[in-house]
Amino acid sequence: MTPVELSRTVLHAVRRAVDAGELSVAVPTRAVVAPPGPGGCGDYATSIALQLARPAGQPPLKVAEVLRPHLLGADGITDVVLTGPGFLNISLDRAASGVGLVGEILRRGERYGYADGPDGRVVQLHCPHDLRAVVVADAAARLLRSQGALVRVTAEGVEPAWTSVLGVAVDAVGRAPAELPVNVRPVPAPESADPMSLGRDAGRWALLHPAPHDRPRADDQHLVQRESNPLFRVRYAHARARAATRNAADLGFTADPDPVPATGSATGTPNGTATGTAPPRRRSSATPRRPRRPPPRVLAAAADHRAPDRLARHLVTVADAALPFLPTVLPRGGEKPSAAHRARLALAEAVGAVLAGGLDLLGIDAPDHL
């Protein structure tokens, strides 16, 4: 659970307390969570009870006592301890933490986020005789299959070049019976556009990245190798992540997602400001940040809504978050590989697996060298 997600969980706890009549306050728009200060414990602390005490007309400690059971009932939280005038100190499930997430991605590789097996669903996708509709149906079928569904794709027409150039696959072609309406109908590409001239990878991206209600732009901008091209950024981040693994092997170290002990000075926290040695639980600046929202929820939502554009945009978000971090993975100059470098490498490898797996579901190649 990331700090942003934990902040939302805290706000949900406030909402549940309000709905239950235990608190009479307006639910705030933001809840600050940060590492606990002196006298605190757990992974994060929040001062939300102090924030709500005056409008609730109750002491902060009483407000904290009201919120505690609602937090304990949330997924990923193992304990909530009250300290000081009403700070809520929250312990997270290690399996749900960033360390556990990176470890799970490394274990599952490019199939991270896939269902463990068939779930019994049978889905029929039917699309018109339109290039973009067929490509979207093909990608949606890949997503649904990754989530355990049995999928059949039919189209009212498919040109042979669509298969040979863009790699689309359908199970049957022809008019469907009346009881099987078209259920995949994105806005078509402009008649002047020629996505197939871009080749398989850029052509598919040009048709899949925009939302279904947006008209795709199929021009040479999808081929340029610069930051303005989202597909280039995704593939470049993947190639940089793979290069980090190769270069680390040359330096004689491998990935290790275990947490890195922190040292240094404490700064402002919800419990106050302190100086001195930071408790071991705190994350040092050398420790990589937790990954962004893991793909299982993204893949499931993209599959349920037949919306591969959701996955494409998620990959861009992951790449943009990873690119500034990837240059810090390897030691510099005479620096020797440390636990921090091994942890950073683990995160880089997790990023590479997520990007490669996501591109594969879109039917796009993820080259190790770019």
Angle CA 155–149–234, to nearest 5? 80
pLDDT at 1: 66
Q: Is the pLDDT of residue 90 over 90?
A: yes
Task: With a cut of 50, say whether residue 309 has pLDDT above it.
Answer: yes
Amino acid at site 6: L
pLDDT, one tens digit per residue, over 349-364 is: 999 999 999 999 999 9
In the chain, DSSP finds a helix count (H) and a strand count (E) of 11, 7
Give just the sign of the alpha carbon dihedral 70, 76, 79, 82.
Answer: negative
List beta partners, residue 125: 153
Residue matched to tokens 């109908």: 185
With bands split at pLDDT 50, 70 and 90, how would you rate the model's confidence at 37?
confident
d(CA 211, CA 206): 11
Mean pLDDT of the chain: 87
% of the chain beyond a pLDDT of 90: 66
Half-sphere exposure of 144 (CA within 13 A, CB side): 21
pLDDT in tens, 192-245: 889 999 999 999 999 999 999 999 998 899 999 999 999 999 999 999 999 999
Q: Residue 34: its pLDDT value, please?
A: 86
* Token reading at 46: 């929040």
Q: Look at the chain and count its residues.
A: 370
pLDDT digit string, tens, across residues 249-295 = 999 999 988 766 544 333 334 444 333 333 333 333 344 444 444 45
Closest CA relative to residue 285, chosen from 256, 336, 317, 325: 325
DSSP string, 234-293: HHHHHHHHHHHHHHHHHHT-----SPPPP-SB---BTTB---SBPPTTSPPTTSPPPPSS
pLDDT for 261 equals: 57
- Mean pLDDT in residue range 21-34: 90
290 compared with 72, residue with greater pLDDT: 72
- Counting Cα atoms < 13 Å in the Cβ hemisphere of 355 gives 32
Residue 11 has pLDDT above 90, yes or no: yes
- Residue 292 pLDDT: 46
The per-residue pLDDT for 212 is 95
Parallel, antiparallel, or unpaired: how do β-strands 33-34 and 44-46 relate?
antiparallel
Residue 172 has pLDDT above 70, yes or no: yes
Q: Which residue has the higher pLDDT, 240 or 116?
A: 240
Q: Higher confidence at residue 286 or residue 23? A: 23
Q: At what angle do helices 295-304 and 339-361 cross, to 10 degrees?
A: 10
Model confidence at 32, pLDDT cuts 50, 70, 90, reads: confident
Q: How far is CA 271 from the centre of its chain?
A: 30
